[in-house]
Structure 1
Amino acid sequence: MAEALLLFLLSYILQLQLEVLGLATSSNHDFSYMKSVYNATDLPLEDVYDYIIVGGGTAGCPLVATLSRKYSVLVVERGSAPVSYPQVLSAGGSGANLLQEDDGKTPAQRFVSEDGVPNVRGRILGGSSMINGGFFSRAHDQFYNQSGIDWEMDVVEKAYKWVEDSIVFRSNLSSFQSIFRKALLQAGVGPDNGFTLQHLVGTKSSGSTFDELGRRHGAVELLNRGVLKNLRVAVEAYVEKIIFSSSNNASRLSATGVVYTDSKGRTHRAYIRDKGEVILSAGAIGSPQLLLLSGIGSVDHLFSLRIPIVHTNPHVGNFMADNPRNGIDVVSPSALDPSIGQVVGITSDFNYIQAVSANLPFSFPQPFGLFPNSTSPLQLSVATIVEKFSGPKSTGSLRLLSSAEVKVSPAVRFNYFSEAVDLGRCVKGMRKIGDLLKTESLEKLKFEDLEGAEGFQFLGPSLPKNQSDDASMETFCRSTVTSYWHYHGGCLVGKVVDGDYRVKGTNSLRVVDGSTFNASPGTNPQATLMMIGRYTGLKILQERRAPK
């Protein structure tokens, strides 16, 4: 009974964490891009384009918009358009995305890694930018320095600005977020960096893709900045494989198109024109999965599934990593204003600490012994404080299952804390959360018992009493690990793609998404993913203009 109640409460917290701005309707969104959106069943069984983008997600949408300025572009997206999921369009309904039953048509696809940790993937036009918490913050400097890309930083800046001018907002801090911000500074997470989109050590508030009325403005709205007449978006379409040809270069296969199926099971073939490209932007799960399904990967793995080998590359699907999330849920004796994450503390060890708050109306006698004399309806206020750290050394892999079908999620293992250095970084992050609990700002979260003693009450696990004991802290980290939904890898730069995101050993094929990352950028990756979509589109246009 207690376990079932706890699961219910935790799920309810997750929903309310995203309901803080739920005052708006979707009526003020700009749906101009819908002029270019088609159900795949309404598209020709065969057609030709300059560029084919597999996946209209966080990186894919800005990439598509940029390329459509000069060329015809087909986007093949397995999910539907946001108008099919009204709950994603405002903060008030967003929690339902992660809680509703997965019937194969929801905007968030659930999967559980082989580590036993639940996770989700975006399955909607706009990708995970349509189901996340909206926090928008740029990448840290080390991301650029260690990414394997020769960045043109002036173009990076322009690409960020292009995104930020369109869909990023500055909102006033909620009461709890202001309290949390003070607690971070009191716990030594300084300096105070105020409001900034830059990644800086210390405490800051940052931008959001939710506007002041709670309307979500995800990557999908960046399509409006393209040339819609040059753009065709096929939704509810699954790419089965990439089509290759050796006619242009006998020593290297060229991608010439894709095969995709619509919701009625009909097969479509889309091809690219001369000088065009197929670009995978299907995410850290979808892109390596599609390369494997198309015959690019390990010989042993492909041979065991009877997939014809197009090009051998043992690195496809390897170096998968996820930022482990650990935290605590503190029950407040007084009502907290609900809030999503608006503030982040970035330590010198690159632990990232955020918090959310929620009120839980719930009627249950004597829940968890918090109120021993109470049998009346309760409203539990809960503050959730979590940490993650950048660039885990622990990595895993992605492998196709025996069915080898695109609609079947592959097996993924992240191997959380398999490297001792990661466990040590978690311990540092949780000790800093312990420091937060000692601050004056969080005194209001303490209960006072009948004898006048004060202390915190936790919903779920609490930090070990002796936080200087490494073994106890390590046990806490291992037993409470979950995902921050910032997984990456599978098509790493230097391993699977080169410094221009071209797939090694092929022509006319690139991967542009988080599968190319060796570390998740900054506190939250969506800002950088959108920047990279725009950046890569600009670079491709530049290449096409360059004289030979």
Structure 2
Amino acid sequence: MGFISVRLYLLLMSLVLVPSLVPSLAAQSRPYGGALPGYARYLLDATAMPAVEQYDYIVVGGGTAGCPLAATLSGPGGGRVLLLERGGAPSEFPALATAGGFVRTLAMADPAPESDAPAQAFTSEDGVPNVRARVLGGGTAINAGFYSRAHPGWFHGHGEDAEVTNWDMRLVNASYEWVERQMTFQPTVHGWQAAVRAALLEANVTPWNGFTVDHVAGTKVGATTFDASGRRHSAADLLGFARPGRLRVALRATVTRIITNPIDPAARRGRSPQPTVAAIGVVYQDRLLEQHRALLRPGGEVILSAGAIGSPQLLLLSGIGPASDLSYLGIPVAADVPDVGKHMFDNPRNGISVIPSVPIDHSLIQVVGIPSANGSESYLEAASYIVPLAPALSSSGPFIGSTTPLYITVATIMQKVPGPVSEGSLWLPSGNPLESPALRFNYLSRPEDLARCVLGVRRVAEVLESRALDGFRSSVGSTSRRGPVRRDFRIVGTALPVDWRTNDRALANFCLQTVATLWHYHGGCVAGKVVDRDFRVIGARSLRVVDASTFSETPGTNPQATILMMGRYMGLKMIEERHSRRPVRS
């Protein structure tokens, strides 16, 4: 079969199959009945897209912010919207539909840019393995489902000074509520999670706040995006609220650059500093490497919602970033914005994993401990999941020499440094848009972060020491001259130093040796440095960034609630701006 006939065959198959990509998500779409979720009508494979087309809004990235943003912009008062997603639909990957597939999805993450896997693996220059989403719904389609709003102070200190913030709290709360009506649920807490709840309170992470989506000091149960039947609800479901005929979602569409035109100095007006270029569209390619152009109608905008990695990467590929770095790579400079790719952050995670002595249920994060409401102390979380038994764990047990895959249930208690003040950067290894950018987060490089990690890990140890978790300890213990046998946990991986109560240096070494990610990276297009208070890119017109790349600090125990809210919030703000620009007819 020749190349042309192969391409024709794939094109025909995409037209036939893409509408059938989503039947397994039908149960997730509460606002719509029938066999298909509400957004199914909007999906097309990028191979079926025209070579050139015009839109009022082009949203790059169908993830946590991009889906609610596109749904809102194509709703009442909005315009014609194109949403470009480099991955496929969630229903192509059955493991995504339930909590049980969480670990499998991360384990199967593929680093290759041409892969169809819904999660793309990468390793930071620090040597820490990480994962980014590559599927409609973004991180909400592959994460642990925990939902909690930002801590209140985050809205007043976002960016480096108060002038950067411009949040309308009435609209913020309304946007949170809109998301919560569609995709959040109160979990049933039992088993391991109930024991952890009691252990946190025993470790003095108080008061007990019950179930709440608010960020409050103490121990609480947060919302979940898994419903009572165990089905995941992702940001993709929110696309069902778009107005028919206004939204088009192109799957497997990789944006390679933003198209910009220079602005005549005589025509510059408005913001300071004055924009030097205007976005007029984007170039994207389909899975057959065919190029497409999506262009803006007059008054339209390009909005990057490609995440903390994708958004700064795309700005740099489009010539918007540090002029010296771009020139070195041979990328023509459209706008010199020195801080693109700078101020990258990831919240360090450290934890203790144990093999319980009794069977326990599979549970992702439901209960959290927040020692202080302002986020100055580490957040504590717990989960339990089934994992393959690693060879390193079997060297002292009965599994030596076994060729059959063995699985065990592992329970984890972890701490997350909420700041952090340690920051890194993102840069392009080359001008190839398909090559992943390089990142360094510089985990725990600042003494403040390391000190908070020490306190957080000590708190984890106190939780593990609690009587509430005695039922999960091994039946084999250690003898003591001073008392009875003390039952211990079967630790997976690195154990805490025996003198963890008093030895800060040993705990600091533990933090540095075991640091991992909680997948809450942010920065790269930070507000006040790369975007202004309305998230417009400094130095460019008709171009915004709406995602976690604009955050200089994480908004709480988990950022997904705030990123979802941000998509809805900015969609409403942009519609309001659109109508305020229209001339009033007499």
Q: Same fold (TM over 0.5)?
A: yes
Deviation at 1:175, TM superposition (A): 1.3
Contact kept? 1:248, 1:254, Cα under 8 Å: no
2:211/2:220 contact within 8 Å kept = yes
Post-superposition shift, 1:32?
Answer: 2.1
| Alpha-carbon separation, structure 2, partners of 1:317 and 1:365 | 38
Aligned pairs for 1:340-355 (under 5 A) are 340-348=364-372, 349-355=376-382
* Residue 199 of structure 1: how far off its partner (Å): 0.3
Q: Is the 8 A contact 1:497 1:503 kept in 2?
A: yes
- Do residues 432 (structure 1) and 438 (structure 2) align? no
With the length of structure 1 as denominator, give the TM-score of the two structures.
0.91
C-alpha separation between the residues in 1 aligned to 2:214 and 2:90? 29
Choose from 46, 53, 58 the match for 1:47: 53
Q: Which letter does structure 1 place at the counterpart of 2:450?
A: L
Alignment of 1:452-471 (within 5 A): 452-467=485-500, 468-471=502-505
Query: 1: distance between equivalents of 2:426 and 2:57?
Result: 27
Question: Structure 2: how far apart are the matches of 1:150 and 1:60?
Answer: 20
Are 1:321 and 2:321 matched, yes or no? no
Shift of 1:174: 2.5
Q: Distance in 2 between matches of 1:310 and 1:122?
A: 29
2:98 to 90, 99, 103: 90
**Distance (whole Å) between structure 1 residues aligned to residue 207 and residue 436 of structure 2:** 43
Contact 2:304/2:544, CA 8 A, preserved across alignment: yes
Return the offset for 1:89: 1.9
Instruction: Give yes or no for the alignment of 1:441 onto 2:468.
Output: yes
Amino acid at match of 2:558: N
Query: 2:170 is aligned with what amino acid?
Result: D
Q: Deviations over 1:181-239 (max 9, x none)?
A: 00000000000000000000100001111101111110000001111310011111111
Which runs of 5 or more residues in structure 2 are unaligned? 1-22, 30-36, 159-163, 269-275, 480-484
Shift in Å at residue 28 of structure 1? 1.6
Deviations 1:335-363 (A, max 9, x none): 22221111000112431111112356869
Q: CA deviation at 1:365?
A: 13
CA distance in structure 2 between the partners assigned to 1:215 and 1:322 by the alignment? 29
1:415 to 416, 419, 442: 442
1:401 corresponds to:
429
How far 1:92 sits from its partner (Å)?
A: 3.0
Over residues 306-358 of structure 1, what are the superposed CA-to-partner deviations in whole Å (9 max), with x where a residue is unaligned?
00000001100000010000001122222222211110001124311111123
Aligned to 2:541: 507
Alignment deviations for residues 105-153 of structure 1 (CA, whole Å, 9 cap, x no partner): 1100010000000001110111111000000000011211111321110
Contact 2:24–2:91, Cα closer than 8 Å, also in 1: no
Q: What does residue 387 of structure 1 align with? A: 415
SS of the residue aligned with 1:176? helix
Aligned pair 1:332/2:338, yes or no? no
- Contact kept? 2:109, 2:120, Cα under 8 Å: no
Match of 2:132 among 121, 142, 163: 121
C-alpha distance in structure 1 between counterparts of 2:530 and 2:245, whole Å: 34
Q: Which residue of 2 aligns with 1:207?
A: 223
Between the aligned partners of 1:366 and 1:285, the Cα distance in structure 2 is 34
1:521 to partner: Cα distance: 1.1
Q: Indicate conservation of the 8 Å contact 1:336/1:382, yes or no.
A: no
Distance 1:133 1:258, change over 3 A: same
Q: Secondary structure at the match of 2:410?
A: strand
CA distance in structure 2 between the aligned counterparts of 1:57 and 1:216, rounded to whole angstroms: 15
Correspondence 1:246 to 2:280: no
1:145 matched to 2:160? The reply is no
Indicate how the Cα distance of structure 1 residues 220 and 379 shifts in structure 2: closer, same or farther if over 3 A, else same: closer
Q: Contact 1:26–1:86 (CA<8 Å) still a contact in 2?
A: no
Change over 3 Å in CA distance of 1:26–1:266 after alignment to 2 = closer
**Cα-Cα RMSD:** 2.3
Residues 100 and 362 of structure 2 are in contact (CA less than 8 Å); yes or no, is this contact kept in structure 1? Answer: no
Comparing 79-88 and 240-249, the one that deviates more: 240-249
1:66-105 to structure 2, matched below 5 A, reads: 66-69=72-75, 70-100=78-108, 102=110, 104-105=115-116
Aligned residues: 523
The residue matched to 2:116 in structure 1 has which SS?
coil
Looking at structure 1, the residues matched to 302 and 146 of structure 2 have their Cα atoms a distance apart, in angstroms, of 30
Q: Distance in 2 between matches of 1:216 and 1:366?
A: 32
Flag the 1:379–1:311 CA change in 2: closer, same or farther, 3 A. Answer: closer
SS in 1 for 2:86: coil
CA gap 1:453/1:160 in 2 versus in 1, 3 angstroms: closer
The Cα offsets for residues 8-39 of structure 1, whole Å up to 9 and x where unpaired, read as xxxxxxxxxxxxxxxx9645233221211111
* 105-114 vs 220-229, which moves further: 220-229
> With structure 2 as the length reference, what TM-score do the two structures score?
0.85
Conservation of the 8 A alpha-carbon contact between 2:103 and 2:385: no
Matched, 1:495 2:529: yes
Residue 249 of structure 2: aligned partner = 233
Q: Displacement, 1:266?
A: 1.2
Q: Is the 8 A contact 1:58 1:526 kept in 2?
A: yes
| Aligned-partner residue type, residue 411 of structure 2 | A
Verify the 8 A CA contact 2:262 2:334 in the aligned structure 1. Answer: no
- How far residue 86 of structure 1 moved from its aligned partner, in angstroms, is 2.3
Q: Does 1:537 align with 2:571?
A: yes
Distance 1:336 1:86, change over 3 A: closer
Query: Who is 2:202 aligned against?
Result: 186
**Larger CA deviation: 237-246 vs 516-525:** 237-246
Partner of 2:245: helix, strand, or coil? helix
In 1, the alpha carbon distance for the partners of 2:126 and 2:389 equals 32
Contact 2:393/2:492 (8 A) holds in 1: no
Query: Aligned partners of 2:249 and 2:433: how far apart in 1?
Result: 19
* 229-238 or 344-353, which deviates more: 344-353
**Letter aligned with residue 318 of structure 1:** K
- Give the whole-Å Cα distance in 1 for the aligned partners of 2:392 and 2:126: 36
Residues 70-104 of structure 1: per-residue CA shift (max 9 Å, x gap): 20001111111112222212223333211125251
SS at match of 2:523: coil
Q: 1:365 to 1:201 in 2, by over 3 A?
A: closer
1:273 matched to 2:306? The reply is no
Identify the residue that residue 21 of structure 1 maps to in structure 2.
Answer: none
Letter in 1 for 2:95: Q
C-alpha separation in 2, matches of 1:105 and 1:273: 32
* Counterpart Cα distance in 1 of 2:302 and 2:391: 56
Contact 1:26 1:90 in 2 (8 A): no
1:481 counterpart = 2:525: no
1:304 alignment partner in structure 2: 328
